[in-house]
Amino acid sequence: MERIELHVVDEERRMRLEDFLFRRFAALSRMYLREVIKTEKCEVNGRYENRGYRLRANDFVEIVLDPRRENSMRPENIPLTVIFEDDEILVVHKPTGMLVHPTHRDRTGTLLNALTFHLNYHQTVKRDVCRQNGPIENNAHSHRSVIRPGLVHRLDKETSGLMVIAKNVRAHRILARQFQSKTVTKKYLALVGGEVRESSGEISEPIGRFADRKFWDLKSDGKPALTRFKVKKRFPDATLLELEPVTGRTNQLRIHCRAIGHPVAGDIERSGPIAARLCLHAYALEFRHPKIGRQLRFESGGETDFSEFV
């Protein structure tokens, strides 16, 4: 454990204590920092405050923590396809086979590792700062601003496609509210086995987790789930679908396609046709910009038809 002393600079005034610590200790998880505050290991001007306490310029913060409790914010120079970027957000194309964030088994090579590098080390000036001061996690109590990629939604490891990432806490909260209120439009392309006869339709089946198998599937007492589909192209033994998940349950699209007897190609767990990859691609994403409020729409790989797997 280490005792660290911090002074609040003018640009950090009015910031919540939790967000201040989250900014200063970029390699530590928000959950861990919340626990530090909750267990009274963080003082502001000699007093224990809650995580929502609004800081003032020149406040004195003392905190006792374990700086080795780093999380997934380890930067890695991994190629990243950026579709759009400004001061608030970036939209990226996640390739198939890449985890969105580290797990207990896979701690490197994820989208989050790539984003941390891109946002903090990509520019020459920032690389120079890195060489002078060491990695982000070793320079945690400098007041140099560190941009933490904020994940607002997920894609399965084998699913490719578009994701929007928040570059600050405010943008993250606004985008998260849009996802929760279902005002974000997401559309996918999926190559499924067999011929889907209906030109369009809806799949409404509850989804839940079977704890004994650690598997998500149709479950009578699961949560309601709704998927809209439209046929884009038919092949002799397969169909290209456009899928729109109205709800956002785990593995929803794969489960619903299997439910109508047309599993996604490459989804071996659900008896999908054999393919070199999971033929599921998030090709369209539409949401409101968190700062200017303008509606934004992005498409990536709209031409992807997975025809090479037919």
Residue-wise pLDDT for 177-227, tens only, equals 999 899 999 999 999 999 999 999 999 999 999 988 889 999 999 999 999
Residue 205 and residue 292 in one domain: yes
Per the CB < 8 A criterion, the answer to whether 118 and 81 are in contact is no
Per the CB < 8 A criterion, the answer to whether 228 and 202 are in contact is yes
d(CA 164, CA 150): 9
Indicate the average pLDDT of the chain: 87
d(CA 248, CA 74): 28
Residue 13 and residue 124 in one domain: no
State the CATH number of the domain containing residue 204: 3.30.2350.10
- pLDDT given for residue 139 in this prediction: 40
Give exposure, 90-109, as e/b (b: 16+ Cβ within 10 Å). bbbbbebebbbbbeeeeeee
d(CA 217, CA 205): 10
Last residue of a domain, one of 65, 91, 115: 65
Report the number of distinct structural domains present in the chain.
3
Is residue 172 a part of any domain in this protein? Answer: no
Strands across the sheet containing 2-7:
2-7, 60-65, 42-44, 47-48
The alpha carbon of residue 281 and the mean position of all alpha carbons in its chain are separated, in whole angstroms, by: 16
Residue 278: pLDDT band by 50, 70, 90 thresholds?
very high
Active-site annotation holds for 156: yes
Residue 58 and residue 85 in one domain: no
H or E stretch at 285: strand 280-288
What type of residue sits at position 107?
R
What global pTM score does this model have?
0.75
Residue 226 and residue 266 in one domain: yes
Q: For the residues 275-295, what does the mean pLDDT come to?
A: 96
Residue 86 and residue 147 in one domain: yes
Active-site residue (options: 59, 156, 217, 267)? 156
- Quote the tokens at residue 98: 């890449």
Domain that holds residue 150: 81-166
